[in-house]
A and B are shown apart, each in its own frame.
Chain A
Amino acid sequence: MSPTTTTTAITSAGLTVRRTTPTTTAVKYTISNKPTRRTFGSFLRIGYRTFCALLFLFLLLHRAVPLSTTVPLPLTHYTIHAAQQFTISTSSSVHNSSIDVPLIFAAVFLAVSFLPREYTEESILVLHDFGIQVSSTGKTRLSRTSQFIPLELIQDVVLNEGFRGFSVIYFLAVVVKGRGRLLVVFPNLLPQREILEEIWRDIRSRMHQHPVSLSVGSNTYIE
Chain B
Amino acid sequence: MRYNIAMVSDFFYPQPGGIESHIYQLSSKLISLGHSVIIITHAHGSRVGVRYLTHGLKVYYVPFYVLYRESTFPSVFSFFPILRNILIREEIEIVHGHGSLSSLCHEAILHSRTMGLRTVFTDHSLFGFADPGSILGNKMLKFTLSDIGHVICVSHTCKENTVLRASLDPVTVSVIPNAVVASNFRPDPFKASSEYITIIVISRLYPNKGADLLTAVIPNICKIHPTVRFIIAGSGPREIDLEQMREKFQLQERVELVGSIRHEDVRDVMVKGHIYLHPTLTEAFGTVLVEAASCGLLVVTTKVGGIPEVLPSHMTIFSSPSEDSLTQSTLEAIKLIESKAVDTSKFHEQVKGMYGWHDVARRTENVYDIVAKIDNEPVIDRLKRYYGCGIWAGKLFVMCVVIDYLLLRFLEWLYPESGIDRVRKWPRRPIDKPLLAGENSESAKIESEDEDSGLGGTTAMP
Question: Are A192's CB and B421's CB within 8 A?
Answer: yes
Partner of B82, one of A12, A13, A166: A166
The 8 Å CB contact of B62, one of A13, A160, A163, A197, is A163
- A161: chain B residues within 8 A (beta carbon): 49-50, 423
CB-CB under 8 A from B424, the residues of chain A are 193, 197
Whether A162 sits at the interface, judged by CB under 8 Å, is yes
Closest chain A residue, CB of each to CB of B411: A166
Q: Please judge, given known A-B contacts A168-B60, A168-B85, whether A163 and B48 are in contact too, CB under 8 Å.
A: yes
Collect the chain A residues with CB atoms within 8 Å of residue B462's CB. 204
Q: Which residues of B contact A192 (CB under 8 A)?
A: 421
Chain A contacts for B421, CB-based, 8 A: 169-170, 192-193
CB of A215 within 8 A of chain B? no
The residues in A between 115 and 174 inclusive whose CB is less than 8 angstroms from any CB of B are 160-163, 166-170
Interface string of B47-88 (1 = CB under 8 A from A): 011100000000010110000000000000000011001100
Chain B residues near A193: list those with CB within 8 A: 421-424
Question: How far is it, in angstroms, between the C-alpha of A162 and the C-alpha of B47 when the chains are bound?
Answer: 12
Quick one: given A168-B89, A193-B421, are A163 and B415 in contact (CB under 8 Å)?
Answer: no
Task: Check if B50 sits within 8 Å of A162, measured CB to CB.
Answer: yes
Q: Answer whether residue B420 sits at the interface, using C-beta atoms and an 8 A cutoff.
A: yes
Using A163-B63, A192-B421, A193-B421 as known contacts, say yes or no to A168 and B50 having CB atoms under 8 A apart: yes
Cβ-neighbour of A167 out of B49, B420, B423 (below 8 A): B420
Point out the residues of chain B lying under 8 angstroms from A12, CB to CB.
418
Query: Inside 8 A of A163's CB, which chain B residues have their CB?
Result: 48-49, 62-63, 82
CB distance from B127 to the nearest CB of A (A): 33
Considering the chains assembled together, what is the distance between the CA atoms of A12 and B418 in angstroms?
A: 10
In the assembled complex, the CB of B18 is this many whole angstroms from the nearest CB of chain A, namely 28
Residues of B within 8 A of A13 (CB): 419
Contacts of A197 in B (CB 8 A): 424
B50 pairs with A166, CB closer than 8 A: no
Total interface residues in chain A, CB < 8 Å? 15
Complex-state Cα separation, A193 to B455, whole angstroms: 11
If A168-B89, A170-B421 touch, whether A160 touches B82 (CB-CB below 8 Å) is: no
> Do A167 and B50 touch (CB < 8 A)?
no
- CA separation between A193 and B424, bound complex, in Å? 9
Which residue of chain A has its CB nearest to the CB of B90? A168
Q: Which of A171-186 contact B (CB under 8 A)?
A: none
| Shortest Cβ distance from residue B47 to the other chain A in the assembled complex, whole angstroms | 12
B418 to chain A, nearest CB (A): 8
Task: Check A168 against B81 for contact (C-beta < 8 Å).
Answer: no
Contact A162 B81 (CB under 8 A): no
For residue B422, give the distance in angstroms from its CB to the closest CB of chain A. 8
B63, closest chain A residue (CB): A163
* Residues on the B chain within 8 Å of A160, using CB: 50
B89 surroundings in chain A (CB, below 8 A): 168
Complex-state Cα separation, A163 to B43, whole angstroms: 11
Contacts of A167 in B (CB 8 A): 81-82, 85, 415, 420
User: Which chain B residue lies CB-closest to A161?
Assistant: B50
Q: Pick the residue among A166, A169, A170, A204 that contacts B81 (CB under 8 A).
A: A166
A106 to B161, CA, bound (A): 80
State in angstroms the CA–CA spacing of A197 and B49 once bound together: 20
With a CB–CB cut-off of 8 A, which chain A residues contact B82?
A: 163, 166-168
Closest to B86 in A: A168
Against B, the Cβ 8 Å flags (1 = close, 0 = not) of A177-205 are 00000000000000011000100000010
**Which B residue's beta carbon lies closest to that of A192?**
B421
CB distance from B52 to the nearest CB of A (A): 10
Chain A neighbourhood of B63, CB < 8 A: 163
State A217–B420 Cα separation when bound (angstroms): 51
Contacts of B423 in A (CB 8 A): 161, 193
- B419-462 contacts to A, CB under 8 A, are 419-424, 462
Distance of A36 from chain B, by nearest CB (Å): 20
With A and B bound together, what is the CA distance between A71 and B462 in angstroms? Answer: 69
Interface core residue of B60, B421, B423 (most chain A CB under 10 Å): B421
Residue on B nearest A201 in the bound complex, by CB: B462
Task: Please give the distance in Å from B103's CB to the nearest CB on chain A.
Answer: 18
Please measure, in the bound complex, the distance between the C-alpha atom of A192 and the C-alpha atom of B85, giving whole angstroms: 15
Within the complex, what minimum Cβ distance (angstroms) separates B71 from chain A? 20
Interface flags for A6-21 (1: CB within 8 Å of B; 0: not) read 0000001100000000
Tell me the bound Cα distance from A40 to B89 in angstroms.
36
Question: How far, in angstroms, from A167 to B419 measured CA to CA in the complex?
Answer: 10
Nearest chain B residue, comparing its CB with the CB of A13: B419
Give complex CA distance A193, B461 in Å.
Answer: 13
Residues 90-136 (chain A) with a chain B CB within 8 angstroms: none
CB-nearest residue of chain B to A191? B421
Q: List 13 A-B contacts (CB under 8 A).
A: A13-B419, A161-B423, A162-B49, A163-B49, A163-B62, A166-B85, A167-B82, A168-B85, A168-B86, A168-B89, A169-B421, A193-B421, A193-B422
A-binding residues in B (CB < 8 A)? 48-50, 60, 62-63, 81-82, 85-86, 89, 415, 418-424, 462
Q: Contact residues of A with B, CB < 8 Å?
A: 12-13, 160-163, 166-170, 192-193, 197, 204
Known contacts A13-B419, A167-B81, then 10 further A-B pairs from the complex at CB < 8 Å, ordered by chain A residue: A161-B49, A162-B50, A163-B49, A166-B415, A168-B60, A168-B85, A168-B89, A193-B422, A193-B423, A204-B462
